[in-house]
A and B are shown apart, each in its own frame.
Chain A
Amino acid sequence: MIIANDLTKRFSDVVALDHLNCHIQDGCVYGLVGANGAGKSTFLRLASGVYRPDSGTIKLGDTDIFENVNVKKRFVFVSDEFWMLPQSTMHRMAALYASAYDSFNIKLFDALSKEFGLNPDRPLSTFSKGMRRQAATILALATRAEYLFFDETFDGLDPVMRNLVKQKLYAEVFDRGATVIITSHSLRELEDTCDQLAMLYKGGIVLESDVGELKTSLFKLQVAFMQEYDQTMFTGLDVLSQNRQGSVTTLIVRGDKEKSHALLAEKSPLLLETLPVTLEEVFIYEMEALGYAFDSAEGGKKA
C-alpha cells in the first residue's frame, strides 16, 4: 500500500501539495483527478521517487520511496511527456530501460510492440504524439513493475488505442495484482477505468472514494406535480441539489434509490423518473456538499 502522510511539496513560493494524506490499496486502479496545477503530477513524482518531499512522508508500506532502489525496482513512472534519447528507436529505449530494470522483459516488449502496431526499429522522432505515448506505455509494461504510474496517459490516444491501453492495464491488475495510478484532468477519462478515485484540489485530496460506490451513491430524480409544491414535498429525501424549471424539478439524491422513488410515488406525481448521474456530476455535487463550488469537474473554487 502506498501511504502519503502530511505530504508537502513546494516550488519556491508555490505549494504544490499541502499536507496531503492518502492510502492507495494494492491491486487497484487509482485515479487522481484535478485541474491543471492541482498537484497531480507532483504527487506522482513524489510517489515514484523523483522528488523528495519537503515535509511529511510517502511510503510503500513502511518504507520511504525517495532514493530507495529496492522500492523503485517495483515502480515504473510514465511522465506526461515521453522523453527519448536523441536519434533513438524503441529498441534503443528498451536497452535503457533494461539497464535500469532487471525485470525488463524484452519478449513482452516485442510482443506489445507488435500488438500496438509499432515498429521498434523506427526512429522515435518520426512517431506521432500518440505513438510516443503508446511506446512509453509499452516500455513501462515491459518492466513488469508492480506499481505503474501514468501521468495524463490517455492524452493524445485515439479511442482504439485508449481501449487497448485500458485492457492492458486491467490485465496487469487482474493477472499480476499490479497497482496502477493514473492522473487526468478529465473525469470522463477515468470514469470507466478506475476502482478508486481521488480529487486533488489546491494540493490536497478533497474527495476520495470507490468508483462503484460513488456512482451508486447518488441518483437523479425528475418529478412534477399537478398541484403547486415546495421543498416540503421532498421531506424524507437526502437531497443534495434541486433545480426547478417550470413545474419539473430535478433532484440529486443520496440514499436508497428504490425507497426514494417509492416515497415520491406515494405523492401521486405527474412525472417521476429516475435518471443515472455521470461520475462528473457525482463529483460536482459531492464537492458542493463538502463546501466547494465547481463550475465543472475540471476546476472550481471553494464555496
Chain B
Amino acid sequence: MKMYKETLRKLLPVGLPLAILTLLYTGITGGQNCFGAFTITQSSTAIGITPILVYYVFTAALFAFYGFSYLFRRSSSDLYHSMPVSRTDLYLSVTLATATWMGATIVLNVLAMLLMLLIGGCPFVPAYIPMAILFYFAASMLVYAAAAIGCSLSGTYITAIASTGIVLFLPRFVQFIIARGLVAKVSIIGWLDLSTLLNPMTNVATGLVVMQTRNMYIPQIVSMPYILYSLALMAVEIALAWRLFLRRPSETADRGASHKGWAIATACLLAFALLLLITVGSHSAFSVYAIALSLLALIIYVIYAFVSLRNIKQVLYALPFFLLSAVLAFAVSLGIQSTSDTALSVTPKADEIASVSFRGHDMVQGNNEYSSILLRDISFTSDDLKEYVSASLSQSVDRIKEPTSYYDVYSQFQIIEPITLKLTDGRTIRRTIEFANVDTLNQLRAENDVFQTAIYTFPPENSVQYLYLYGKFTDEENRKIWNSYRSESLAKNLIPNDYYRSHVLSMDSYGYSVSRGDDQTLGGISYSGYIGTQRYSDYETIRMEMPQTVALLMSTTNNYAKSDSAARFKEAIKRNLSSLALENDSVNLTLQFYNVPMDGGEPLMASISLYLSGYSNKNDQYASLYKDYAQRLSDILQRAELTDTPDGMFASFSWSMYDSTTYDYQEEPTAYLRFAQEDEATLVTMIEDWQNTMMYGYYPSSDTPILSTP
C-alpha cells in the first residue's frame, strides 16, 4: 500500500497535466456542444461523449514508461531492487497507480461532460456514461499492459518503446494488413463482412486507430462484447507482464533487451511489419517502392539489433534471421491469396441458401438508419429472393474475375448491400454485393410481412432525441412539424425512408427527371435517437403528399420572414445593377417554385437561381439574362404575398447579399409566397425560358444564343 501511494505520487508529473488538459478540452468542446450552435445537430455517441479520451488512452504508455523508468538505469534499478519491496509489489504498485490515474481522469472527463449535458439540457443516453467509462478504461489499460510487457523485456527506453509497439500493434497490424489485402482482392467482402478473427475492432485500443481511417466502424466500436474481450486480453497481458517482470534480470538495466533472443525477435518483427507492406500490395518485388521498403526494413533491422545487442559480432550473428522476416511476410501474402481464392469460389445456388439477411445498406457509410435496425434480424427465405441474391452474388464474383468497365454495368437503380447468407450446409457467409435494381430487391423483400411492417414503422416517440429542419426553428417548432409528419405519414400509410420507395422518377419533355404532384419536396427532417445503446440517424423528405405538414412547415417558416423582404430585394438589385456596385458586391436569389403548370401532366417543381455581382455583371455570359430576370422578378416579388397553403402555384423565396465596402453579409429568412394572378402566367413563361436557356444556351428575348454551342 505504501509503495502504491508512493507510485501514485511518482506518476503525478504525468497524470496531473494530462488530467487538466483533457478536462479543459472536454470542458471547451462539451460547452460548445451543449451551449453553442451545435446543440441541435450534435449527436453524441458513447465514444463521442469525450472525444479527447480517444487520444488520452494512448498516454497510458507514458505512465508505464515513467512508472518503470527505474528499470532503464543501473543506479535506479539498484535502488528499487535493493529495497525491501518484492517485485510483485513493485509491479502492482505501478499497475494500480496507472489504473487509478487513468480511471480517475476518464471518470472525471465523462462526469464533467455529463454535468454539462445536464446543465445545458442536452439530450443524452444514460447508458453511454458507464459504457464510455468502461470502454476507455479497457482501452487505456490495454495500452498500459503492452507497455508493461515492453518495459519488462527491455533495459532502455528505445527497446521498451519498440517492444511496446510490437506487443500493442504488430498482431493487429498483421491482422489489418491481411484484412486490407482480402478486401482489396475480393471486393464483395467488405470490412464489415470480416470474421471475428479479422475484425480489427475487437481490441478496443487498436480499434481506435483503425476507426480513424475506417469510419464505418465508428457506430460499432463501443460494444460490450469488444469491451469484454479487451478486458480479458488486458488481464492476460497484465499477468504476462507481471510474470516477465518477476523473471526480468536486474542487470538488464542500461542494456538493450533482457534476452538476446528477444532482441533478435523484436528486430525480425519490426522488419516483418515493413516487408508485409510489400508482399500484400500490388507492387512488383523489383519496383522502386519494394526495393526502398526492403532496404528500410534491413536498415531498421540492423539498427535495432545494434541498439539492443550492442555488439558487432552478435549483430552479424543476428543478420541471417532477417530472411526469416521476409519468408514470414511472403507466407502471409500467400495466405491472403489463398483465402481470396476460397472466398471467390463460394457462390451458392439458390437451393443451397437457407436464408438471407440484410445488415443495412447504410452500414457501409458508417450510418445506421432506424429501418436498418429493424430489418437487420429478418431472415428472408423466399425462393425468388434467394434466386435474385444468388444471381447477384455470382455476377459480382464474375465481375471480379473478369473486370468490366464500371460504365458498362452502371445503372441508377444499382445498389450495394451487405448481406449474410446462411447456407443449407450450416455455413454462414457475409458479403457486400451489388444488386442491379433496388426496386426489384425491395419488391422481393416486401413479400416478407415483417419487412413490410418494418419499413412503415417510425422509431418510438421517446427515442428521438435530435431533430433538425431549419436553423431558425426552435426545438418546439421542430418537434411540432415532426409530430405532424409522423402522424400524417402513418395515416396515409407512407414509407418514410426513401430507400424503400420506388425509385422510378418522372421525366420532363427533355428527358430530365422532375418532381411532380405529390412527389414535390420541401426539404426534409434530420433526426436521430437511440434504441437501447444503438444510435440511429435518418433523413426523411417532406413531400406535397403531406399537405398538413407542408402547410405547417410553410407557416412556421413564414413566421421568421420579414414583411419588407421583397422591397429590400428590389433595392439590393437596383444598387447591384447601378454603377455604384463594386466588383465583389453580390446578390444571390433562389426561387423554388411548386405546382408549376408546365410541360403537360401534373404540376411540377422548378427553380430559378440568380447570382449578380459587380464582376459577373460585366463578364458572365449569362449577365444579360440575370439582369433581365432580376429586374422582372423583383417587380413580381413586390406583388407577392406570404402563403401557408400548398395549393396552386407558390414558391419559396430566399436571398442574400454581400456589401464589400462594409464586409456585411446578409441572409434573408426564407419565405413562402403566392403570386398575383396576372404574374403566374408570366412566371411560367420565365421558368420555361430559364430552363431552355440553361439546357440549350438560348434566351428567346435575345437574337443570338447565349452559349456558342447549343
Contact = CB atoms under 8 A, between A and B. Distances in A.
B251 A48 contact: no
19 contacts: A45-B82, A48-B82, A49-B81, A52-B249, A69-B85, A69-B86, A75-B84, A77-B78, A79-B78, A79-B79, A79-B82, A83-B70, A83-B79, A85-B10, A95-B6, A98-B2, A100-B85, A101-B83, A101-B84
B5, B10, B81, B84 interface centre (most CB from chain A within 10 Å): B84
A11 B78 contact: no
Contacts of A72: 82-84
Contacts of A112: none
Nearest to A82: B75
A103 to B, nearest CB: 9
Contacts of B74: 79, 81
Given A52-B250, A83-B75, A100-B3, 4 more contacts: A75-B84, A79-B75, A95-B9, A149-B82
B77 interface: yes
Contacts of A149: 82
A75 B85 contact: no
Contacts of A101: 83-84
A127 interface: no
B627 interface: no
Contacts of A98: 2
A49 B82 contact: yes
Contact of A45 (B2, B3, B83, B250): B250
Interface string B11-45: 00100000000000000000000000000000000
Nearest to B3: A99
Interface residues of A, number: 31
Interface in B87-106: 87
Contacts of A69: 84-86
Contacts of B251: 11, 51
B2 A100 contact: yes
B73 interface: yes
Interface string A40-77: 00000100111110000000000000010110110111
A236 interface: no
A4 B81 CA distance: 19
Contacts of B85: 69, 100
Nearest to B93: A99
Contacts of B443: none
A81 B75 contact: yes
Contacts of A49: 81-82
A76 B82 CA distance: 7
Contacts of B83: 72, 97, 100-101
B692 interface: no
B474 interface: no
B666 interface: no
A55 B684 CA distance: 103
A271 B298 CA distance: 77
A70 B84 CA distance: 7
Contacts of B3: 99-100
B76 interface: yes
B10 A50 contact: no
Contacts of A79: 74-75, 78-79, 82
A171 interface: no
A86 interface: yes
A41 to B, nearest CB: 9
A50 B250 contact: yes
A100 B84 contact: yes
Contacts of A52: 249-250
Nearest to B314: A12
B9 to A, nearest CB: 7
B2, B74, B83 interface centre (most CB from chain A within 10 Å): B83
A160 B421 CA distance: 88
Contacts of B76: 83
Interface of B: 2-3, 5-6, 9-10, 13, 70, 73-79, 81-87, 249-251
Nearest to A79: B78
A292 B630 CA distance: 113
Contacts of B77: 50
Contacts of B6: 95-96, 99-100
B84 A83 contact: no
Given A79-B75, A100-B3, A50 B9 contact: no
A106 B13 CA distance: 25
Contacts of B2: 98-100
A117 B37 CA distance: 63
A145 to B, nearest CB: 9
A9 to B, nearest CB: 8
A79, A83, A99 interface centre (most CB from chain B within 10 Å): A99
Nearest to B82: A77
A69 B85 CA distance: 6
A51 B75 contact: no
Nearest to A51: B250
B9, B79, B85, B251 interface centre (most CB from chain A within 10 Å): B79
A75 B75 contact: no
A50 B86 contact: no
A49 B84 CA distance: 9
A213 B86 CA distance: 41
A61 to B, nearest CB: 17
Contacts of B73: 83
B84 A50 contact: no
A75 B82 contact: yes
Contacts of A73: 84
Contacts of A81: 74-75
A52, A67, A80, A96 interface centre (most CB from chain B within 10 Å): A96
Given A11-B251, A51-B251, A86 B82 contact: no
A171 B268 CA distance: 57
Contacts of A70: 84
A75 B78 CA distance: 13
Contacts of A80: 75
Nearest to A86: B13
Contacts of B9: 95
Nearest to A151: B78
B78 A50 contact: yes
Contacts of A67: 86-87
Contacts of A48: 82
Contacts of A87: 13
A21 to B, nearest CB: 22
B86 A45 contact: no
B62 to A, nearest CB: 14
Contact of B82 (A50, A85, A95): A50
Interface in A195-252: none
A95 B10 CA distance: 11
B434 to A, nearest CB: 60
A79 B79 CA distance: 7
B245 to A, nearest CB: 12
Contacts of B10: 85, 96
A50 B81 contact: yes
| CB-CB nearest 8 A-B residue pairs | A99-B6, A83-B75, A100-B83, A77-B82, A72-B84, A81-B75, A73-B84, A79-B78
A48 B73 CA distance: 17
A223 to B, nearest CB: 51
B78 A83 contact: yes
A218 to B, nearest CB: 37
Contacts of B81: 49-50
Contacts of A96: 6, 10
Nearest to B313: A13
A279 to B, nearest CB: 29
Nearest to A139: B79
A241 to B, nearest CB: 40
Contacts of B86: 67, 69
Interface in A1-37: 11
A81 B85 CA distance: 21
Contacts of A97: 83
Contacts of B13: 86-87
A248 to B, nearest CB: 51
Contacts of B82: 45, 48-50, 72, 75-77, 79, 149
